[in-house]
Structure 1
């Protein structure tokens, strides 16, 4: 029987949309299904009541060192190049972050402190841990107890819902530490936002794909009533298999949008993102206006509250990196490898912490492999 569609694509985020566009470019008929009422996945953005853009599901700071990823996405958007800057609010003041020479000067109350002074401090305070076994040890091995307690311990535990000792070392290794005064959060060659927002980018990708789109739809209901040659799945890995081995651990998030009259500089907080490692129930506030270039007397912040994930009741945002979760995830990956008519791609479907450019690059790679398989069949 000839299938109604060549591909069913579950999820309208980056992984699903890249593959829809690429498959559409070679004449494949695709149906994209998403349970939400919009495309773009967690990258979805929109404007508030005063026309100020915000990221609905928390900040998405695009950056990449991949020329191919940048070239591909540039077909669907112009860019606004930016630098992402973060501060930490603790002990009554805003600290430069990630940890750098400016942070050390604040810590020592010495504006004349040099890079050599900071290196000497780190050498004295860093703990001798050759192979850090967890997120706590990964930081202690570099900066020592004082800075760990000031910036990392509370935030990490609050963000992930478990003590840093129970998290993989990669959680804190991702955060840069510099002895110079460079306070940029990232150092990727290309750092930018889509000039008209992520939603516009996705709308252009959808148009280019020629795919049909169903929103507010569970893919299982579609699968039961149509025929597909192949399925591309970007949802939670364990849910595809009805949590056969139990639920994989994720963290979920709740977001609160606040609209405010801006100060004389056009903002309400001193930087794009403020981290809160203290006892507050939220982890950070983000004022996207710092990097969108929008003007006006109003601004907004999005306050982010992490909480425990409950399958079927909350959205999974972050796979929790730990030995227990990876062991369980591998059992599900083994099942996925046996699903020859399904391709699992993206952060949730692979149960991996992936940045946006890695998701895009991964989807492009999957498409290339599909072409090879098709051409040699």
Structure 2
């Protein structure tokens, strides 16, 4: 195929940058390069849309839903929040999650309300809750795995109720086989704070993520081509642009030279129901292994939409499908390091993002990583040549 056959009329014969992947990492860097450096950017994605896994759209019933499962924005970084605020207004939203355990819906992360409800207790203070958890904890001298983390903090019964089944479904592995980072992310509280996150900034893009991405990428120096697989262009990449920014799977870029990096995937069952509300919060977790899905999400809680119908999503972890979660095991990190060494030795290619660095990141962390990557590129470019006047976004 002609490497330039998909470029819009009037586009340059050669771009400054070809960016592979129109999720947060690729889109943020595209916007920064165009608006701050006056660079000509071609942004491609194999999916038929921008936004990566954060993509949202209205379904046939007019409900704004997240095609790839719920994406809840939260961050402690004022810089990240201010950056994204250029492209969206926000709807204040504090995420709450319930877990379906022993026939009850109780707050997760575990807090004092969870303990009182589940065990028929009357803990009144943080101190009482802390003492109760300490009485159940089973100290682990050398914490190595996700199982160790939880049992050390809250003991085996709570571990089995909330973590073991959910983790086995999510990862296809027992928590004893997973790195401690998996469950270290989930706090245990002694107060009655039932918010899932404790971050300073918690909000949802007022008109959705896709609108935010569209504004971010609305710049005369950015050309966007979706439904384009990098594999079709790889041999001609440096005829298209001087520099490549790659946010796809790092093992795929190197043709799986050392073998495939293991990922967990997800499958989604989206349903629209003829009722106003399905559940009392946006997400309900189902830790029991007898239930095949891990959680049910209801989007109207996130968006604030009012409608006589509602859309929900059942989420099923899978070994096959798009790569979502790098599996945190030491042997997988060793395999990644082999690819990372190849990436470090590859000229004129910048690897950035979740798939290119084989790390699970929250959305704000990806934005922060992309902004930091741009700053490094900008500093290098500034030394090589003077910075042009910033080009205003259209």
Task: Bin the TM-score by the shorter chain.
Answer: over 0.9
CA contact (8 A) 1:151 1:277 kept: yes
Q: Residue in 2 aligned with 1:71?
A: 82
Map 1:268-307; keep pairs closer than 5 Å. Answer: 268-278=278-288, 279-307=290-318
Q: Residue in 2 aligned with 1:145?
A: 156
Distance 2:133 2:110 in 1: 11
Distance 1:209 1:243 in 2: 36
Aligned pair 1:256/2:269, yes or no? yes
CA contact (8 A) 2:55 2:210 kept: yes
Q: Residue in 1 aligned with 2:255?
A: 242
Q: 1:328 aligns with which of 321, 335, 347?
A: 335
Distance 2:107 2:363 in 1: 25
Q: 1:373 aligns with which of 376, 380, 387?
A: 380
Q: 1:47 aligns with which of 42, 55, 58?
A: 58
Distance 2:177 2:250 in 1: 22
SS at match of 1:214: strand
SS at match of 2:65: strand
TM-score normalised according to structure 1 size:
0.95
Map 1:219-238; keep pairs closer than 5 Å. Answer: 219-225=230-236, 226-238=239-251
SS at match of 1:305: strand
Cα deviation, residue 113, structure 1: 4.7
TM-score normalised according to structure 2 size:
0.91
Map 1:116-195; keep pairs closer than 5 Å. Answer: 116-195=127-206
CA contact (8 A) 1:346 1:359 kept: yes
Name whichever of 129-138 and 207-216 sits farther off. Answer: 207-216
CA contact (8 A) 2:123 2:129 kept: no
Aligned pair 1:93/2:104, yes or no? yes
Q: Residue in 1 aligned with 2:369?
A: 362
CA contact (8 A) 1:3 1:229 kept: no
Aligned positions, number:
369
Q: Residue in 2 aligned with 1:8?
A: 18
Q: Residue in 1 aligned with 2:5?
A: none
| CA deviation vs aligned residue, 1:305-359 (integer Å, no higher than 9, x gap) | 10113xxxx2101111111111111111111101121101001100011111110
Distance 2:231 2:121 in 1: 61
Map 1:204-223; keep pairs closer than 5 Å. Answer: 204-208=215-219, 210-223=221-234
Cα deviation, residue 111, structure 1: 4.3
Distance 2:308 2:291 in 1: 28
Cα deviation, residue 134, structure 1: 0.5
**Root mean square deviation of aligned Cα:** 1.4
Segments of structure 1 that go 5 or more residues without pairing to the other structure are none
Name whichever of 120-129 and 208-217 sits farther off. Answer: 208-217
Name whichever of 346-355 and 125-134 sits farther off. Answer: 125-134
CA contact (8 A) 2:28 2:370 kept: yes
| CA deviation vs aligned residue, 1:212-262 (integer Å, no higher than 9, x gap) | 111111113234344311100000111111111111110011011011122
Change (3 A) 1:10 1:124: same
CA contact (8 A) 1:54 1:300 kept: yes
Segments of structure 2 that go 5 or more residues without pairing to the other structure are 1-11, 385-394
Name whichever of 287-296 and 77-86 sits farther off. Answer: 287-296
Q: Residue in 2 aligned with 1:352?
A: 359
SS at match of 1:176: coil
Distance 1:83 1:371 in 2: 35
Q: 2:346 aligns with which of 331, 339, 352?
A: 339
Cα deviation, residue 209, structure 1: 6.2
Cα deviation, residue 112, structure 1: 5.2
Q: 1:18 aligns with which of 5, 13, 28?
A: 28
Cα deviation, residue 293, structure 1: 1.1
CA contact (8 A) 1:84 1:185 kept: yes
| CA deviation vs aligned residue, 1:270-315 (integer Å, no higher than 9, x gap) | 2110111112211111112112111111111111110113xxxx21
CA contact (8 A) 1:156 1:163 kept: yes
Map 1:19-38; keep pairs closer than 5 Å. Answer: 19-25=29-35, 26-38=37-49
